[in-house]
């Protein structure tokens, strides 16, 4: 949108579209009028024939979107008499907007980033789903207002120069992700989960926000009632998340969350479920693939088994860091990226994943600690930063936890239990700004859509309101979900002690530390914030904390080389780092 009535720049729109083509390789569309230009690249999943965007409604409003509106069938039935021109799941929001104005989002069940222009009101509306499954960013400049599904598209458009936001960088290094609306790119802002932003004449003039978590505290449900409610919610969510005009699959780790999805998908589909799993070759990391294979055999699923080794890691990590333009140093990006590649190679465009199960059903050990008062050994979440006490950062940041503290304060509503408050704080930042960014970027870089059935309003209405004793019992989280899974797929052994899913980045890095450590230490991005001698020393140390800190620096060095220095098409990690060192 041009500033103060100026015509929107067609060249900027084309550069935005070009930068996002990996997200939508099946086609593109554009709309221009007055001071607005909208573009979309399409990943065709529903209404393959007539679902091209932009979409229009009789009142003149126009929409482009990335995502899926899962209740589009029910919405169309409720709007009997309305004239629809397509079978697209994204057309009902247009008609809802004309009827309800900005409240149209309250009727949507799905994952979405929506841009809607109303020529009558002269306003642009951006809206993001309340869990933050789909990303949406904007830049407000003197030359106009630009928005996109990825920050790197805004950089590529020429609207924003690539500069690091030091506040967000401190969070990234200490937390492995960033919080709130600010991104690590100075001048690029997130539309928050559940937020709608109104823009006129190139300026944000109004905001509203929709929460997806119930405002009430824990319900007084019996175990039997809770199991019935959970069963209904899970079945309904998986059913609507399978609405697609193209084949779909799922990620299967053998853990509780993915096993629950496998059980339901196997029951709800007449054809074998296509499952994808990954493990690691030649490392000490526990390999759960054999358990996943057994579950696939029992349920009749067709399994694609991916073995990831150190050579793949060192070769592809620069591409993975490039895809993670809104950076989160979560090493689970490595298997996620390779699994997405396998899904694409299998000819699929859609995959269901288990993200959100730990947050909604209280699966993390940190929740059990947060439930206890301090005098019983309880402690707050993320009280210690990744680099605290390691002597690596030149100027150890002091405000890196401000965003987390703000989320915790907002989550302490007075009606929530300690456990619910911890879950709500995680849902505010950790979930959208680490886990969901990882899934979105790694999958969409291959033109694959990830769907998250646990992150559904109907599931949240049950899971979040479970009494604490139905979430955590006998030292285990996700107790009721385990109980439910034990009833439908006991072979999943949901009450076994799981060793957790890990990625052997520390082992791979340790084997190459003498070579990689000095290269990382002398990268321009690292030299700005770290003592190079301390970095080299860090890479030579053994242990969980030094190993993870070294991983964060390696990831950031590669991220900075691509997104700040413009080092593209590196053949491997060493190539990218050698080029970066020369740039220093």
Per-residue model confidence as pLDDT tens digits over 265-276: 999 999 999 999
The residue out of 209, 236, 256 marking a domain boundary is: 209
* Residue position matching structure tokens 């119930």: 214
Q: Are 173 and 317 contained in the same domain?
A: no
Instruction: Judge if the upstream peptide bond of residue 460 is cis by omega within 30 degrees of 0.
Output: no
Tell me what the mean pLDDT of segment 461-480 comes to: 96
Count of residues making up the chain: 584
Output the pLDDT for position 376: 66
Answer yes or no: do 228 and 197 share one domain: no
DSSP helix/strand/coil, 39: strand
User: Residue 65 belongs to a domain with what CATH number?
Assistant: 3.60.20.10
Based on the domain organization, do 409 and 519 belong to the same domain?
no
51 and 90 both lie in a single domain: yes
Percent of the chain with pLDDT over 70: 98
**Pair 448, 579 in one domain:** no
Same domain membership, residue 540 and residue 476:
no
CA dihedral 171, 172, 178, 184 (to 10 degrees): 100
Task: Tell me whether residue 331 is in a domain.
Answer: yes
Q: Look at residue 523 and give its three-state secondary structure.
A: coil
Cα Rg of the chain (Å, integer): 23
> In this predicted model, what pLDDT tens digit does every residue of 123-146 receive, in sequence order?
999 999 999 999 999 999 998 999
Per-residue pLDDT for 500 more than 80? no
Mean pLDDT along residues 556-576: 96
Q: pLDDT tens digit string along 336-372? A: 999 999 999 999 999 999 999 999 999 999 999 889 8
Residue keyed to tokens 């569309």: 29
Span 32-68, pLDDT tens digits? 998 999 999 999 999 999 999 999 999 999 999 999 9
Closest CA to 90 of 131, 152, 150, 134: 134
Long-range contacts of 366-374, Cβ-Cβ distance < 8 Å, separation of 24 or more: 366/422, 367/419, 367/422, 367/423, 367/472, 367/477, 368/472, 368/475, 368/477, 370/418, 370/419, 370/421, 370/422, 371/417, 371/418, 371/419, 371/422, 371/468, 371/472
Using CA atoms, how far apart are residues 258 and 299, in angstroms rounded to an integer? 13
Q: What is the pLDDT of residue 373?
A: 73
- Strand boundaries in 1-59, DSSP class E: 28-33, 36-41, 55-56
Check whether residue 46 and residue 185 sit in a common domain: yes
SS (H, E, C) 168-231: HHHHHHHHCCCCCCECCECCCEECCCCEEEEEECCEEEEEEECCCCCCCCCCCCCHHHHHHHHH
DSSP 54: S
Overall average pLDDT of the 326-339 stretch: 97
The model's pTM is 0.96
Query: Distance between CA 79 and CA 515 in Å, rounded?
Result: 64
Coil, helix or strand for 435?
helix
Decide if pLDDT at 499 tops 80. no
Residues 21 and 112 in one domain: yes
- Report yes or no on 499 lying in a domain: no
- CA triplet 571, 577, 583: central angle to 5 degrees? 115
- Asked if 128 contacts 113 with a C-beta cutoff of 8 angstroms, the reply is yes
The answer to whether 183 and 151 have CB atoms below 8 angstroms apart is yes
Mean of all residue pLDDT scores within the chain: 95
Q: Is residue 529 a part of any domain in this protein?
A: yes
Backbone angles phi, psi at 301, to 5 degrees: -75, 150
Band the pLDDT of 577: cuts 50, 70, 90.
very high
> Across the chain, which distance is largest between two alpha carbons, in Å?
71
- Given a cut of 70, whether residue 378 has pLDDT beyond it is no
Tokens of 296: 């696939």
Tell me whether residue 497 is in a domain: no
The mean pLDDT of 303-328, rounded to a whole number, is: 97
pLDDT tier for residue 443 given thresholds of 50, 70 and 90: very high
Same domain, 322 and 369: yes
pLDDT digits (tens, 9 = 90+) for 76-120: 999 988 889 999 999 999 999 999 999 999 999 999 999 999 999
Where residue 375 falls among pLDDT bands split at 50, 70, 90?
low
498 belongs to a structural domain: no
Flag whether 214 is in a domain.
no
The answer, yes or no, to whether residue 377 has pLDDT greater than 70, is no
Q: Which of 152, 180, 209 is the last residue of a domain?
A: 209
- Domain end call among 209, 240, 267: 209
**How many structural domains is the chain composed of?**
3
Q: Domain range spanning residue 168?
A: 3-209
393 falls within a domain: no
The neighbour count for residue 499, using CB atoms within 10 Å, is 10
Q: What distances in angstroms separate CA 427 from CA 230, 387, 436, one per listed residue? A: 20, 24, 11
447 and 377, same structural domain?
yes
Going by pLDDT thresholds of 50, 70 and 90, the confidence category of residue 222 is very high
Say which DSSP state 4 is in: G
Query: Are 377 and 479 spatial neighbours (Cβ–Cβ below 8 Å)?
Result: no
Q: What pLDDT is attached to residue 283?
A: 86
33, 126: one domain: yes
């Amino acid at each position: 949108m041009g500033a103060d009535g100026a015509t929107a720049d067609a060249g900027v729109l084309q550069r935005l579209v070009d930068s996002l083509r990996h997200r939508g390789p099946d086609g593109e569309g554009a709309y221009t009028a007055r001071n607005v230009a909208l573009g979309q690249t399409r990943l065709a999943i529903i209404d393959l024939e007539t679902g091209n965007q932009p979409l229009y409604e009789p009142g003149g409003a126009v929409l482009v979107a990335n995502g899926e509106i899962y209740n589009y069938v029910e919405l169309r039935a409720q709007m009997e008499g309305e004239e629809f021109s397509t079978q697209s799941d994204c057309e009902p929001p247009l008609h809802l907007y004309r009827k309800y104005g900005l409240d149209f989002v309250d009727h949507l069940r799905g994952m979405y980033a929506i841009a809607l222009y109303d020529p009558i009101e002269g306003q642009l509306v951006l809206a993001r789903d309340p869990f933050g499954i789909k990303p949406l960013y904007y830049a407000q400049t003197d030359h106009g207002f630009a928005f996109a599904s990825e920050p790197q598209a805004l950089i590529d458009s020429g609207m924003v120069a690539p500069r690091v936001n030091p506040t967000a960088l401190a969070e990234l290094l200490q937390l492995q992700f960033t919080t709130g609306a600010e991104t690590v790119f100075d001048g690029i802002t997130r539309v928050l989960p559940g937020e709608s932003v109104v823009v006129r004449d190139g300026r944000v003039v109004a905001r509203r926000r929709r929460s997806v978590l119930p405002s009430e505290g824990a319900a007084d449900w019996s175990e039997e009632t809770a199991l019935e409610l959970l069963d209904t919610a899970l079945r309904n969510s998986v059913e609507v998340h399978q609405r697609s005009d193209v084949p779909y699959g799922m990620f299967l780790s053998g853990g509780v969350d993915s096993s629950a999805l496998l059980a339901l998908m196997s029951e709800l589909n007449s054809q074998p479920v296509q499952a994808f799993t990954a493990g690691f070759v030649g490392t000490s990391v526990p390999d759960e693939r054999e358990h996943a294979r057994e579950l696939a055999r029992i349920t009749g699923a067709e399994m694609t088994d991916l073995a990831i080794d150190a050579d793949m890691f060192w070769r592809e990590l620069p591409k993975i860091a490039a895809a993670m333009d809104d950076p989160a140093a979560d090493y689970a990006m490595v298997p996620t990226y390779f699994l997405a590649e396998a899904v694409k190679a299998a000819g699929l465009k859609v995959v269901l994943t288990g993200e959100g199960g730990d947050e909604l059903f209280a699966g993390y050990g940190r929740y059990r600690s947060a439930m206890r008062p301090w005098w019983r050994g309880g402690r707050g979440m993320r009280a210690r930063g990744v680099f605290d006490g390691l002597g690596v950062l030149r100027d150890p940041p002091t405000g890196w936890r401000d965003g987390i503290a703000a989320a915790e304060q907002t989550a302490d509503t007075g009606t929530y239990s300690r456990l619910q408050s911890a879950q709500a704080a995680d849902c505010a930042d950790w979930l959208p700004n680490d886990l969901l960014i990882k899934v979105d970027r790694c999958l969409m870089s291959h033109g694959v859509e990830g769907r998250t059935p646990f992150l559904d309003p109907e599931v949240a209405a049950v899971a979040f309101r479970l009494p604490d004793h139905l979430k955590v019992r006998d030292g285990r989280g996700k107790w009721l979900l385990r109980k439910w899974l034990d009833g439908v797929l006991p072979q999943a052994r949901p009450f076994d002690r799981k060793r957790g899913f890990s990625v052997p980045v520390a082992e791979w890095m340790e084997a190459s530390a003498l070579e990689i450590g000095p290269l990382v230490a002398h990268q321009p991005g690292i030299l700005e914030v770290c003592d190079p001698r301390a970095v080299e020393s860090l890479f030579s140390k053994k242990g969980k904390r030094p190993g993870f800190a070294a991983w964060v620096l390696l990831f950031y060095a590669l991220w900075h080389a691509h997104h700040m220095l413009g080092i593209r098409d590196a053949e491997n990690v060493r190539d990218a780092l050698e080029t970066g060192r020369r740039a220093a």
